[in-house]
A and B are shown apart, each in its own frame.
Chain A
């Protein structure tokens, strides 16, 4: 019997799942349903569209004909309901599509603070291409912008708006940037770079209301009563997995759609993957959320195999991201959280992982040479987390060491005692023949 697969979501998890299903089941009918008109594109690339580094057409990493080439059917429209008993989904407009296996890969959406004026025109966030287009359109006639929030997206928005020649103000609720992941010296490094990009930082500044004029943003008001005139307010306080469809269908949800280690929800024919999925990790016994491009692709591939009948449990790798924050190339791998507070975020941000903040029994050691900084979190036998800022020489070897759980016992004492020689020690562990004995 020909199996019918429906993948809801045209992002990295959905598309990689559909491609994987096709590889495993040449005869199945695979349909991707997405609510954006445009074909698959690079969502992380939206930051570079805002800075003017690339034109919009570069975001589309494969031709639209790629769907047909892989015999993937594509439907544009929102899925409004799932009939689990009848194995059908209902699209906007009432049309229904039958399925044998269904994957929910609908992603997450940006949260907005609940404050007066948040619905005004000129309040923006960055979920998708339509948002980026709106920001660029509004920026053309704006002079001044404010940004609130934390994590990578808030800085991308600030840098994008500054690159569009807006006088840009970044409001932080407490005294430093991204306190849950960065140590104070690292926050200071990024803040210096942002100041160098003419972004004005406001510490201890909590947003109270957005003030409008004729339905548009005219200013923001802070808790202390200060009023900052602006034409645009960009918000990046975190994201919420789009769980409504699953909830409506009676599937178990927490912050995301709850799945087992094979991405199966409590309905054996319905799976979830990517930013919307809260996936059981057998190693910790917990359900985990990630909002990372590479993890979404990895999960999509694993889920795709399972939809096609492989019953492959997902082996979760140490979550990893490499990005530019304030122009500083930064790699984050594994449990790298600083133990501080995420004052500017109310939920997981894009480009972020819950696992970064896992508190493991580990010592942090730091090699700090100005703009180049490496922070390692050393467990008893393994490196459990690493952050590399600036020079990326150690980024790949560390990623490999963490992923392969390389035994560090022979060098652990030396790393703890003598962090200045960290590079030499790490490189010797990663490639012992080239770098001599340990």
Chain B
């Protein structure tokens, strides 16, 4: 239980740092747990079932959908935007 919470928290922090939620549609069974748990009410499933990254501008990348998906459909990917801004900072 504690391990699960810690893992979820770590996934969330990782996502909020720099991420986008990317689905793998062949794992998705359209159960809706992701959409149900999205704090912003984004229909994550509508993205997941067709394999579209969650590009909704309101997405907080909080990672809840990733952590709760029972089928490992969703993952967090570092976005190029953050990579690029790091590069611009130079340090």
| Chain A contacts to B: CB under 8 angstroms | 42-45, 48, 53-55, 58-62, 293-294, 298, 320, 322-324, 329, 331, 392, 395-396
Contacts and interface: CB of A to CB of B under 8 A. Distances in A.
B72 A293 contact: no
B70 A58 contact: no
A74 B46 CA distance: 22
Interface string B8-38: 0000000000000000101101111101100
B72 A45 contact: no
Contact of B31 (A48, A298, A329): A48
A371 to B, nearest CB: 10
Interface of B: 24, 26-27, 29-33, 35-36, 45-46, 49, 70-72
Contacts of B46: 61-62
Contacts of A320: 26
Main SS at interface, chain B: loop
Contacts of B71: 322-323, 329
Given A61-B49, A294-B27, A322-B27, A42 B32 contact: yes
Contacts, number: 55
Contacts of B70: 48, 323-324, 329
The 10 tightest CB contacts between A and B, nearest first, are: A45-B31, A58-B32, A44-B29, A61-B30, A42-B30, A324-B70, A322-B71, A42-B31, A293-B29, A58-B36
B76 to A, nearest CB: 14
A58 B72 contact: no
A320 B24 CA distance: 13
8 contacts: A45-B31, A45-B32, A58-B31, A293-B29, A294-B29, A323-B70, A395-B72, A396-B24
A392 B72 contact: yes
Contacts of A323: 70-71
Nearest to B31: A45
Given A58-B36, A61-B49, A42 B26 contact: no
A44 B31 contact: yes
A294 B29 CA distance: 8
A43 B32 CA distance: 11
A407 B33 CA distance: 37
B25 to A, nearest CB: 9
A331 B32 CA distance: 20
Contact of B72 (A53, A54, A298, A329): A329
Q: Which of B24, B30, B49 lies at the interface centre, i.e. has the most chain A CB atoms within 10 A of its CB? A: B30
A163 to B, nearest CB: 14
Contacts of B29: 42-45, 293-294
Contacts of B30: 42, 44-45, 61
Nearest to A293: B29
Contacts of A48: 31, 33, 70
A331 B72 contact: yes
Contacts of B31: 42, 44-45, 48, 54, 58-59
Nearest to B72: A392
B26 A294 contact: yes
